Amino acid sequence: MSHEVVVVGSVNADLVVGVDRWPGPGETVLGSDLATHPGGKGANQAVAAARLGGRVALLGRIGGDGHGDLLRGSLADAGVDLAHLLVTDAPTGVALITVGPDGDNTIIVSPGANAHLSEDDVAAARDLLAGATVVSFQLEVPRPTVLAAARTAAGGGARVVLNLSPAALVPDELLGLCDPLVVNEHEAAFLLPDHSAEDDPAALAAALRERGPRSVVITLGADGALVATGEETQVVPSPKVNPVDTTGAGDAFTAALCLRLARGDDLVTAARFAVRVGAAAVRKAGAQSSYPTGVDELPG
């Protein structure tokens, strides 16, 4: 059976501390007890899509350590195909996350095993990538690996979705394979030196499309998302919720978008579903632990 969504990306343990306020340079503040959650943009997207009922596989790397065991268990519990989750001689990736009182967060990632996902791994997973309906990428694994996998996926007829996070320069060839390119306003501005994150999102989307993507989605946080294709540009509003923790909400959005595209939705319709999934994910603490398991859990 082919997979609806294949995710190529990172697998991290999220080490989370809550704070009442952000420290200034050189300042120490006390935080909450440390909580450890399964995370990583790749694993988050795979779990989110699988929990929504998708047939999902993940191509990634973990270490042979306790964090790796935690992550493998979380992915397996969600029903993700782990035939291409590889173990390497490096520590599992870790994300150091600080959550503020309003639910916003700051994140520092130590890639660990994620940095060892290689073009050879892509070659070994050729049939998996080429046989998928949609293949989703982020940038917490090496960019040459992402490009090689995107080429393989597109060559097999899969739809390529790239979430440009964390923001980084990528080849025009990779941008040209994206349908869509998914960015927030800061990531959009990173690719556009003549623009800033405060610019009108529609203008950012138009400028991004000139870089080559077939379509663009700009996530707008609590305001939803802007979708730009060759035919239309439309804002898709998000349901209003009380945020607890925004960690992993963007991954939930992208996963839901990919799943609905794989099932035949047009981009605007898929985004309407995805903003509801993203809104659901901010109502609980953690990333994967906050993801809904069905439409009955979605706001709006």
pLDDT in tens, 5-22: 999 999 999 999 999 999
Sign of dihedral through CA atoms 187, 188, 190, 195? negative
Contacts of 210 (CB under 8 A, 6+ apart): none
Summarize the annotated binding site for substrate as residue ranges: 12-14, 40-44, 140, 251
Summarize pLDDT for 232-271 with one digit per residue, the tens: 999 999 999 998 888 889 999 999 999 999 999 999 999 9
Residue 244 maps to a domain: yes
Q: Report d(CA 127, CA 279) in Å as an integer.
A: 34
What tokens appear for 272 in the block?
Answer: 């309407």
pLDDT score, position 247? 80
User: What ranges in 52-179 are assigned the alpha helix state H?
Assistant: 66-78, 119-124, 126-130, 143-155, 172-177
pLDDT score, position 189? 94
Q: In angstroms, what is the C-alpha Rg of the chain?
A: 18
| CATH number of the domain encompassing residue 252 | 3.40.1190.20
Q: Report d(CA 19, CA 239) in Å as an integer.
A: 27
pLDDT score, position 103? 79
Residue 280 maps to a domain: yes
pLDDT score, position 139? 97
Summarize pLDDT for 27-38 with one digit per residue, the tens: 999 999 999 999
Please give the model's pTM, rounded to 2 decimal places: 0.93
Residue 273 maps to a domain: yes
Summarize the annotated binding site as residue ranges: 12-14, 40-44, 140, 184, 219-224, 245, 247, 250-251, 281, 284, 286, 290
Residue 166: which pLDDT band, with cuts at 50, 70 and 90? very high
Summarize the annotated binding site for K(+) as residue ranges: 245, 247, 281, 284, 286, 290
Residue 58 maps to a domain: yes
Residue type, 8: V
pLDDT score, position 106? 86
Domain count, the chain: 1
> Which of 92, 90, 78 shows the shortest CA–CA distance to 47?
78
Task: Provide the domain limits for residue 134.
Answer: 5-11+40-90+114-293
What is the mean predicted confidence (pLDDT) over 27-50? 96
Active site residues: 251
What tokens appear for 189 in the block?
Answer: 């501005």
User: Cα-flanking dihedrals φ and ψ of residue 117, to 5°?
Assistant: -70, 125
Contacts of 283 (CB under 8 A, 6+ apart): 241, 242, 243, 244, 290, 299
Residue 266 maps to a domain: yes
SS3 224: coil
> Which of 56, 98, 54, 75 shows the shortest CA–CA distance to 12?
75
Instruction: For the chain, report the end-to-end CA distance as a whole number of angstroms.
Output: 33
User: Cα-flanking dihedrals φ and ψ of residue 62, to 5°?
Assistant: -130, 170
Residue 17 maps to a domain: no
Residue 1: which pLDDT band, with cuts at 50, 70 and 90? low
Summarize pLDDT for 71-121 with one digit per residue, the tens: 999 999 999 999 999 999 999 999 998 989 887 888 898 999 999 999 999
- Say which DSSP state 81 is in: B
Residue 54 maps to a domain: yes
Summarize pLDDT for 281-291 with one digit per residue, the tens: 999 877 898 99
Alpha-carbon distances of 159 from 110, 132, 268, rounded to whole Å: 29, 8, 16
Summarize the annotated binding site for ATP as residue ranges: 184, 219-224, 250-251
Residue 96 maps to a domain: no
